[in-house]
């Protein structure tokens, strides 16, 4: 089954509402899309939405790469060789995970559609359904409480709170959230590298009464030697995010006494499903749990992350809410939300379709 055509595109999509994290403020997202057309009209879809501050690649760079001869050389190739094609392109784009994610996702989707099975079935789905958290950005206490109430009223039960700009306000926000919603919500936090070890220890001490399921990347990349000094029960709650970009980083963090108890895998950090599953394999060997995250993304790549997540038995946490933030999308389908749980659509490929 030959690849007949490769069609990249780039879109700027507004968010439903602006939000803030420790690293900046956002009101729109640029997304690169890729269509891979096979014989008999089969089309696989992919999308790239890298965070340039994390991986050094923008969506504009992704689009340029998707238009390059290195990607166009896929024309005429056999989709049955999709795994080898991905490996070959990873050699061409070793530090462009957004590019690789778009190509990898589209190739997986096209192959699975040709096979007539969901992408997860290529590996043997063994997890799910699981709840996803939804994200509350950096805001004041009253806004945080109001946003939490709005999310809980729509059926979500896991809230991820962005912290990292003001430790004192962070502490108050978490205490107030627990006081108001502790019986209704499971809390996770993401500090986006906004703390140093002293302020993080203070945060832990003063929020000891607040149950937190996951604490994502509290300290900057490169300060793992400070993290390893924390008690093991604390490190079991910590999720590596910005510290975990690729397979090499995964291996460095997967010691006999792992630095982080949880790996946050994002397709836009590591470069797609194939690379994500390699990282997942390293984590499994070290007893590290998986937490699948995202940027602001189309349902195309969110669905791809969900298929990858459900193909791994040690997937425990989902934070795949990125498509909920978009004011519009080019695609629909892929998954269903019921009572806060994410279900695969069960249809061929990623289960997504263009509007």
Helix (H, G, I), strand (E, B) or coil at 144: helix
DSSP, collapsed to helix, strand or coil, labels residue 16 as strand
Q: What share of the chain is helix, strand, coil (3-state, %, to 5)?
A: 40, 25, 35
Identify each DSSP E strand in 163-319 by its residue range.
Answer: 186-190, 214-216, 238-240, 262-265, 289-292, 315-318
Q: How confident is the model at residue 126 (pLDDT cuts 50, 70, 90)?
A: confident
Q: Would you identify the CATH topology of the domain 3-116? A: Enolase-like; domain 1 (3.30.390)
Percentage of residues in the chain having pLDDT higher than 90: 93
The whole-model pTM stands at 0.95
Range list for CATH 3.20.20.120 in the chain = 121-354
The structure tokens listed for 324 are 């909920």
Q: Is the pLDDT of residue 299 over 70?
A: yes
pLDDT, one tens digit per residue, over 34-73 is 999 999 999 999 999 999 999 999 999 999 999 999 999 9
Considering the chain, tell me which residue range(s) the CATH 3.30.390.10 domain(s) occupy.
3-116
Domain 121-354 has what CATH class? Answer: alpha beta
Which of these, 192, 199, 193, lies nearest to 169 by C-alpha position? 199
134-178 tens-digit pLDDT: 999 999 999 999 999 999 999 999 999 999 999 999 999 999 999
- For helices 197-206 and 167-181, angle between their N-to-C axes, nearest 10 degrees: 30
Using the predicted structure, report yes or no on whether residue 22 has a pLDDT greater than 70: no
What does the pLDDT read at residue 304? Answer: 98
Task: List the one residue out of 105, 102, 98, 103 whose CA is nearest residue 73.
Answer: 103
Candidates 74, 129, 135; CA nearest to 103 is 74
Q: Where are the beta strands (DSSP E) in 87-210?
A: 130-131, 134-136, 158-162, 186-190
């Amino acid at each position: 089954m030959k690849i007949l055509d490769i069609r990249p595109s780039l879109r700027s999509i507004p968010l439903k509402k602006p939000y803030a994290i420790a690293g900046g403020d956002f009101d729109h997202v640029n997304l690169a899309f890729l269509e891979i057309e096979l014989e008999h009209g089969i089309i696989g879809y992919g999308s790239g939405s890298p965070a340039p501050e994390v991986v050094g690649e923008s969506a504009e760079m992704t689009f340029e790469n998707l238009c390059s001869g290195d990607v166009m050389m896929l024309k005429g190739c056999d989709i049955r060789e999709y795994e080898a094609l991905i490996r070959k392109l990873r050699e061409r784009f070793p530090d462009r995970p957004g590019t690789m994610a778009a190509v990898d996702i589209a190739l997986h989707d096209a192959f699975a559609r040709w096979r007539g099975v969901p992408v997860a079935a290529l590996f043997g789905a063994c997890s799910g359904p699981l709840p996803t958290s939804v994200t509350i950005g950096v805001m004041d206490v009253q806004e945080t409480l109001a946003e939490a109430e709005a999310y809980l009223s729509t059926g979500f039960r896991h809230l991820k709170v962005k912290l990292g700009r003001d430790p004192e306000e962070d502490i108050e926000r978490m205490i107030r959230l627990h006081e108001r919603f502790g019986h209704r919500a499971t809390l996770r936090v993401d500090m986006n590298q906004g703390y140093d070890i002293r302020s993080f220890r203070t945060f832990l001490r003063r929020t000891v009464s607040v149950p937190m399921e996951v604490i994502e990347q509290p300290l900057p990349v490169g300060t793992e030697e400070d993290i390893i000094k924390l008690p093991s029960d604390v490190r079991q709650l910590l999720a590596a995010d910005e510290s975990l970009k690729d397979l090499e980083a995964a291996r460095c963090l997967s010691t006999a006494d792992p630095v982080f108890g949880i790996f946050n895998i994002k397709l836009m950090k590591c470069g797609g499903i194939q690379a994500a599953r390699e990282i997942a394999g390293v984590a499994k060997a070290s007893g590290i749990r998986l937490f699948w995250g995202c940027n602001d993304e189309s349902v195309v790549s969110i669905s791809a992350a969900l298929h990858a997540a459900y193909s791994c038995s040690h997937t425990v946490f989902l934070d795949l809410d990125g498509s909920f933030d978009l004011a519009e999308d080019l695609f629909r389908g892929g998954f269903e939300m019921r009572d806060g749980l994410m279900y695969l659509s069960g249809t061929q490929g990623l289960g997504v379709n263009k509007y």
